[in-house]
Structures are given as C-alpha cells and as structure tokens.
Amino acid sequence: MAKKRVTLVTSGQYPNLTEDEAGLVEELNSRGLDARIAIWNDPQVDWEEAGVCVIRSVRDYATHREQFVKWAHSVPRLLNPADVSEWATDKHYLLHLQGQGVPVIPTTWLEPEQNLNKHQVHTRFPAYGEFVVKPAVSSGGREMGRYDANNGMARMAAITHAYRLLQEGRSVMVQRYLSEVDAHGEYSLVYMNGVLSHSVEKAAMLTNPNTTELQAEEEVTGNREPRPEEWIFGEKVRSAIHHMIKDRLGHDQHLLFLRVDMVPDGKGSFYLMEVSPVDGSLYLRTRPDGIQTFADAICNRVFW
C-alpha cells in the first residue's frame, strides 16, 4: 500500500524550511508518511500529486500576493485552506474581527483609491506620541516603521514611507505605538486543530523610534503557561475565526495551525495585533516536543 504523501510548502528563501521546523520531514516519515518539501512557486512541482500540502515558510507571499492566492486556489488539498490564506494575507481581516467584537489596535486605514496627497497623509497621523506605519499586506514585520509624531524629521520620514506604499497601490495602516509593548512585550498563542498547543512571550521588534529597522533577532521566551486572561482572549479570537470560516467560507473544520498575537491594552485586557494561519512561525522549538506535536496535528488531518 502506497504511503500517504504530505508536502511541506516553503519559499525559495527557505528551501529546507526554517530552523524552527528542522526535523519535521523526518518526524512525519517516521509515522509512515511520505513527507517532502516543495517551493510554492516552483513550476516543476505537480501539485495534483503532492498529497496533503501544508503551508509553512512562504515568507515571500507579500511581494507576490496575487500570484500566491491564485496558486493556493489551484492546490487540491491545502492546509490551511486557500480561502483562509486569501483572507489572512491582507490585514483588512482585522476589520472583520473587530466587527465580531474582537478588540484590535485602533487603526487609521489609508487606501490607494483615496488618492491622498502628502499633506492629506500628514493630517491622518496622530498629533502626538509615537505611531507605526505598515502595509496591510506584509510578512514578518517587513516595511514597518515606528515614528515620533512630535519630531519633524520623523514625521516627514513617516509621510514618505506611507506615501511610497500608497503610490505602489498598497493599503497602509497607521497605528499608535503601544508603550505596553516595550514594558510587557507581545504574547503569541499557538493552536493546532483548534486546541491551544503553547504560548510564547516576545520582546518588541521596533525597539527605537524613528526607524524601520527591526531587531536583528526575535527575542522569544517559551515554555510558559498563558495567564487565564490571555487564554480567554485567545479563545475569543480563535472562536471568531472559526465561526467566520464556517459561516462565510463553508469549512466546518478547525485550522491545522493558527497563531494569535496580542498585546496588553493597559486596561487589564488585550488588543489583537494579528493572526497567522499562513506563514507565521509556530515557535515549535520553544516546547521540547514541538516538532512531534505538530507532526501529530498533521497526521490527524491526513489519516482521518
């Protein structure tokens, strides 16, 4: 009897997956699967013969989103599903989740079709404090900048940043920078097949104002138990996404994997920063059996 095939989908930047996922192919093969790795936009790959395809290190989707979404819809057996990938690769999804009662960071949206000039962009920035400018379609925090509204040079840099993105036909998000990120960091909850797997705490990536430079290496603290309020908030987000998938997209299955990123709101609760059911790191190395746990989750979807 032929083994069931699983293809882990990556990008040319990570032809052997990321370091966090090292050993996943071997772990899946040890469970009786025929596991392989393929690059999503490799024209030589026959996706009809690829078996169950699991999206992983596709970190370049943001620069080829239209092509990526078209590819996703062409793959017969894709996890997470193509319509979820289409929904989640544009951060306008935050507006939908906000409509479902999920608190998100207050955001001003700048759209290319508004045809804003630089002065109009300037008037949509906060009058004081620090703020963040980033594109609605991005991966890994790329093209994100932190600026001081009271610094004239910084404000000009932010205008240039936002205006360039708009001129490229890209939507722009303007958000207040939350000091709680510096004080407490961010929290990520990782779910597999709808069940919480593990939680990590991350230090701020934009450590200095008036810069678009991220920290060279993400500082992650894993192997921690989420506090009850984190768990409750994460469940609220996960449930909202599941109901959206069921009601609007027609899927009644939980996502194979989902990462929920949140930050304290300074009032005893949280804001949702983003969700990652596509390419986000699952921080598998932060738990001793992370690779095995993810392999279990994949096997549950392949064999049942």
Label residue 1 by pLDDT band (50, 70, 90): low
Residue 199 has pLDDT above 80, yes or no: yes
Question: How far apart, in whole angstroms, are the C-alpha atoms of residue 170 and residue 134?
Answer: 10
Q: Among candidates 91, 95, 111, 113, which has minimal Cα distance to 103?
A: 95
Residue 98 has pLDDT above 50, yes or no: yes
Residue 284 has pLDDT above 80, yes or no: yes
Q: What are the tens digits of pLDDT across the range 53-94?
A: 999 999 999 999 999 999 999 999 999 999 999 999 999 999
The chain-wide mean pLDDT, for the chain, equals: 91
CA torsion angle 155 159 161 163 (round to 10): 180
Residue 213 has pLDDT above 60, yes or no: no
Q: What are the tens digits of pLDDT across the range 249-261?
A: 776 678 999 999 9
> pTM of this prediction?
0.92
Question: How far apart, in whole angstroms, are the C-alpha atoms of residue 165 and residue 62?
Answer: 13
pLDDT of residue 212: 52
Q: What are the tens digits of pLDDT across the range 5-20?
A: 999 999 999 999 999 9
Beta strands in the chain (DSSP E): 5-10, 34-39, 52-55, 78-79, 107-110, 130-135, 145-148, 172-176, 186-192, 195-202, 220-224, 257-264, 270-276
Q: Is 183 exposed, middle or buried (0-12, 13-18, 19+ CB in 10 A)?
A: exposed
CB 181 within 8 A of CB 288: no
Residue 206 has pLDDT above 70, yes or no: no
The residues facing 175 across adjacent strands are 107, 132
Residue 153 has pLDDT above 80, yes or no: yes
